[in-house]
Amino acid sequence: MTMNERLRGLYAITPDRHVDLAQLRSDVEAALAGGARIVQYRDKSGDTERRRLEARVLRDLCSAFAVPFIVNDDVELAVATLADGVHIGRDDGELAVARRRLGEGRLVGVSCYNDFELARQAAAGGADYIAFGSFFASPTKPNAVSATPALLRRARKALGVPVVAIGGISPENGAALVRDGADMLAVVSAVFGADDITAATRAFAHCFDTAEETT
């Protein structure tokens, strides 16, 4: 099974703010224990040394669980820490450049917001997965554009790459998005803001079980 073929399930994204490395590692380990299928390190600070250390620690942790580790927005950090891939948005550089820097066999994901044409271009340009959102109001990005389930249904039929849904997703609303075509549910606060991260992660895993039972 290739890395791309494993892209289904909960996509856990670390919060920008965390207490320290020990807490971050503990929280991510709890998510992995609950069944997170991919982990993205997201940190918008300018502390290069801390970000590099944290990314390396999380990469090793994800490797122990055989789960892909992705770096948000920073191709050079992904290269330096031997991450499994990078996720880029509209302002984070070109897909082709990210692919050249990472090489084949590593993942490049692209945020496409609510723009199907952008997703079509990303898929044609070699993106390993594309992401749409926000599907619901999100505390992480309160000003994000709104995406609709119709995008997921269209992408499933036309694009041929795994699709991520992001934005305000909970265990209660996630299964419907999976039925509409989401291969992964990307979540920040509903996992890492939970009192029991492992239990929250397992609840998201149930979204995929429920969707498969009804298809």
Domains of the chain and any CATH numbers: 4-213 (3.20.20.70)
Q: For 143-159, what is the mean pLDDT?
A: 94
pTM over cut 0.85: yes
Give the chain's mean pLDDT.
93
High-pLDDT (> 90) share of the chain, %: 83
Nearest to 51 by CA among 62, 43, 59, 63: 43
Q: What proportion of the chain, given as a percentage, has pLDDT over 70? A: 95
| Long-range CB contact pairs, 50-58, < 8 A, 24+ | 50/21, 51/77, 52/77, 52/80, 52/81, 53/21, 54/21, 54/24, 55/81, 55/83, 56/81, 57/21, 57/24, 57/25, 58/14, 58/24, 58/25, 58/28
Least confident of 76-80, 88-92, 171-175: 88-92
Question: What pLDDT, on a 0 to 100 scale, did the predictor assign at position 5?
Answer: 57
Per-residue model confidence as pLDDT tens digits over 89-120: 987 779 999 999 999 899 999 999 999 999 99
Residues labelled as active-site residues: 42, 111, 141
Q: According to the model, what pLDDT value does residue 4 have?
A: 57
| 25-66 pLDDT per residue, tens | 999 999 999 999 999 999 988 889 999 999 999 999 999 999
